[in-house]
Amino acid sequence: MSGARARLAKLPLGVVLVGAFALAAALGPLVAPHDPAQIDLDHEYAAPSLAHPLGTGDNGTDVLSVLLHGARLAGTIGLLVVSLSVVVGTLAGAFAGYRGGLVDHAVTGVADLVQSFPAVVLNVALLAVVARPGVPHLVLALVSNGWVLYARVARGQTLAIREREYIQAARALGMGDARILFRHVLPNLGGPLVIQATSGLGAAILAESTLSFLGLGPGKAASWGALLDQGSAVLLRFPHVALFAGGTIAATVLGFNLAGDWLRDRLDPRR
């Protein structure tokens, strides 16, 4: 979708959705009308009303408040997963691309294996290692397959950069590999990684929701996936819980995907 019109048509939705999410994650817990854990058994699964704009869920908890608190959790986990994945993936990918040979084979081999294995199965198997998964465990489980995408991008870029004259000049001047990698290769990987990280945030948030939906989320914390799980159990009688929870997840993922596409169109002159 190239051309100024398509670009304009894309800009608002992606940016608006991501902006709304960022706002909810930053301020949500402050502006939430209720405590997300507050129990009100008289009004369990109530339809939307003035007191509860999005209705209530299990035990009468306020859906809007759970979603607002959940945004903070989703944002925190998303940012942690993506930043750790970017660091691990970029280092592994750049090193593999720069050194080539056995190192390259090892990194791409592991990446292939991780990427093609069902993500949910891998994450569940890893989370099984701890008795009560908390946020750190969830983050580590998601990084275990999250780094692969960044490694691929970094490796591809490094392969191209490696042959440039300024790298050969640095080598001729007697610079060590590590110094070349950190001073000359890594700073030039920025653009494509930023694009990948933007849609990666959406993917990480979805992965957190999916694991929480399956019952593997961080305990008692208000989580979008856990809310969707509760809503699915009563879907046929009280559809509003699942609709609002799932809609929030879908809109957020869509927003980050659109924002990623938009950034790519802006940053990549070849397109």
Partner 1 sequence: MSAGLLRYLGARSLRALLTVLGVVTLVFLIVRAVPGDPVDAILGDQASPGDRASLRAALHLDAPLLTQYAIFLGEVGDGTLGHSFRRRDETVASLIAQVFPATLALALAAFAVAWLLALPLGSLAAARRGSRWDLGARAIALFGLAVPGIWLGPLLILLFGVVLRALPLPGDEGAGALGLVLPALTVGAALSAVLTRQTRGAMIEVLSEQYVLAARARGVSPLRVVVVHALRNALLPVLTVGAAQLGAVLSGTVITEKIFEREGLGSLFLDAFFARDIPVVQGCVLVVALLYVAVNLAVDLTYGLVDPRVRLS
Contact criterion met (CB below 8 Å) for 243 and 227: no
Nearer to partner 1, 105 or 164 (CB): 105
Nearer to partner 1, 90 or 209 (CB): 209
Cα–Cα dist 109/18, whole Å: 34
Residue 124 Cβ vs partner 1, minimum distance, rounded to whole Å: 6
Residue 213 sits in the site that holds partner 1 (CB under 8 A):
yes
Residue 117: phi and psi, rounded to 5, are -75, 140
Nearer to partner 1, 220 or 237 (CB): 237
The interface with partner 1 within residues 223-262 (CB under 8 A) comprises 225, 228, 231-232, 235-236, 239, 242-243, 245-247, 249-250, 253-254, 257-258
Residue 146 Cβ vs partner 1, minimum distance, rounded to whole Å: 14
Nearer to partner 1, 151 or 181 (CB): 151
Residue 215 sits in the site that holds partner 1 (CB under 8 A):
yes
- Residue 251 burial by CB count (10 A; 0-12/13-18/19+): exposed, middle or buried? middle
- Residue 207 burial by CB count (10 A; 0-12/13-18/19+): exposed, middle or buried? buried
Distant-in-sequence, close-in-space partners of 159: CB < 8 Å, separation ≥ 6: 97
CA angle, 240 then 241 then 245, to 5°: 115
The residues binding partner 1 (CB under 8 A) are 1, 113, 115-121, 124-126, 128-131, 202, 206, 209-210, 213-215, 225, 228, 231-232, 235-236, 239, 242-243, 245-247, 249-250, 253-254, 257-258
